[in-house]
């Protein structure tokens, strides 16, 4: 079951590399949130109302509802629909994504005494590198924000695969921070749309030496 979920997650990554509508990106993010909920549900040692509520807030409410809703709101306000002219064609993007996944797999097999779950680890690593690649290869500021959220999802899977329970207070701080940074970045991304009348990162280069 867990393997199926992880493969589904990888599938959503590959799809993200291929499509070019911002709305589709956001839908894929919401889908990733659902997969993450299922994954953390399987990983639960025992089902108590407290930890069920905790993972639901962390994944369902935050990753599948709040963030996608907020991103849709930004897309509507800035009236953008598609990711016009990425730096690379989609086919190249797809090839690079597959290479990233293969490289992550190869890297993980090199490590003999991996104490973490191997497939989760590969998924997390390839998502992390894909997120960085996604940020570098897209021009729209909102795509950059989406790339950041993909990286956050990678970190979430990495946390699951390592399985080191952190104290609740610490966990809460981590979640709040990520939520606040997404909100603040979204706020400024919206502002950039208003002020520069563009959402293209290549036109924001007035600061230099």
Partner 1 sequence: MQYFNTDSLSILMLGALAVVLVPVLIHSLIYFRDFKATAKRTSVYFAALAVLTAALAFGYTANHIVLTWVFTEITTLAAGVLIYHHRDALALEAVWKYIFVCAISVTLIFVGILFWSLALIHCGSSDLSYANLTLHQQQMNPLWLKLGYIFIFAGFTAKMGLFPMFTAGIDAKDNAPSPVSAMLSAPLVNLGFTGIYRSYAVLALSPDGSWARVMMVATALLTLFIATTYMVKIRNYKRMLAYSSIEHSALVILGICFGKAGIMAALLHLLMHSLVKSGLFLQMPQLAKTYGTKMMDSMGGYLKLNPTGALTLLLGLFSITAIPPSGMFITELKIFIAMLASGHWYVMVLCALFLTVLIWAICKSIISVIFLPMAEEDELKAPKIKVSPAENICILILFIGAIYLGYFCPGYINELISDASGLIF
Radius of gyration in angstroms for the set of CA atoms belonging to the chain, rounded to a whole number: 18
29 vs 192 by CB, closer to partner 1: 192
d(CA 58, CA 142): 22
Structure-block tokens of residue 44: 């639960």
By CB under 8 A, is residue 8 in contact with partner 1?
A: no
**Judged by CB under 8 A, which stretch of 22-30, 32-40, 53-61, 169-177 contacts partner 1?**
169-177
33 neighbors 60 (Cβ within 8 angstroms)? yes
Which of 6, 17, 142, 192 contacts partner 1 by CB under 8 A? Answer: 192
CB of 149 to partner 1, least distance (A): 10
Phi, psi of 80 (to 5 degrees): -115, 145
Segment 123 to 142, residues that bind partner 1, using CB under 8 A: 128, 132, 135, 141
128 neighbors 153 (Cβ within 8 angstroms)? no
Segment 145 to 164, residues that bind partner 1, using CB under 8 A: 148, 151-152, 155, 158-159, 162-164
Query: Alpha helices, DSSP H only, in the chain?
Result: 2-18, 22-43, 49-55, 67-78, 90-110, 118-137, 141-162, 168-196
90 vs 165 by CB, closer to partner 1: 165
**Judged by CB under 8 A, which stretch of 25-33, 39-47, 74-82, 199-207 contacts partner 1?**
199-207
CB of 74 to partner 1, least distance (A): 14
Which of 86, 116, 146, 199 contacts partner 1 by CB under 8 A? Answer: 116
d(CA 96, CA 73): 31
Structure-block tokens of residue 107: 């890297």
94 vs 155 by CB, closer to partner 1: 155
By CB under 8 A, is residue 101 in contact with partner 1?
A: no
81 neighbors 22 (Cβ within 8 angstroms)? yes
Residue 76 to residues 4, 66, 73, 187, Cα–Cα distance (Å) = 34, 16, 5, 14
Can you give the binding site for partner 1, defined by CB under 8 A? 111, 113, 115-116, 128, 132, 135, 141, 144, 148, 151-152, 155, 158-159, 162-166, 169-170, 173-174, 177, 180-181, 184-185, 188-189, 191-192, 195-196, 204, 206-207, 209
């Amino acid at each position: 079951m867990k393997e199926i979920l992880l493969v589904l997650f990888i599938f959503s990554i590959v799809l993200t590399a291929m499509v070019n509508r911002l709305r589709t990106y956001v839908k894929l993010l919401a889908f990733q949130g659902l997969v993450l909920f299922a994954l953390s549900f399987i990983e639960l040692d025992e089902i108590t109302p407290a930890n069920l509520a905790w993972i639901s807030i962390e994944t369902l409410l935050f990753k599948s509802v709040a963030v996608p809703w907020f991103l849709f709101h930004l897309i509507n306000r800035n009236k953008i629909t598609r990711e016009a002219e990425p730096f690379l064609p989609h086919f190249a993007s797809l090839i690079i994504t597959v290479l990233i996944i293969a490289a992550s797999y190869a890297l993980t097999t090199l490590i003999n005494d991996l104490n973490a779950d191997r497939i989760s680890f590969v998924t997390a690593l390839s998502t992390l590198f894909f997120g960085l690649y996604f940020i570098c290869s897209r021009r729209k500021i909102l795509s950059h924000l989406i790339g950041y959220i993909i990286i956050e999802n990678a970190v979430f899977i990495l946390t699951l695969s390592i399985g080191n329970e952190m104290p609740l207070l610490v966990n809460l701080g981590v979640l709040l921070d990520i939520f606040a940074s997404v909100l603040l970045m979204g706020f400024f991304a919206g502002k950039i749309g208003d002020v520069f009348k563009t959402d293209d990162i290549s036109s924001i280069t007035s600061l230099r030496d």
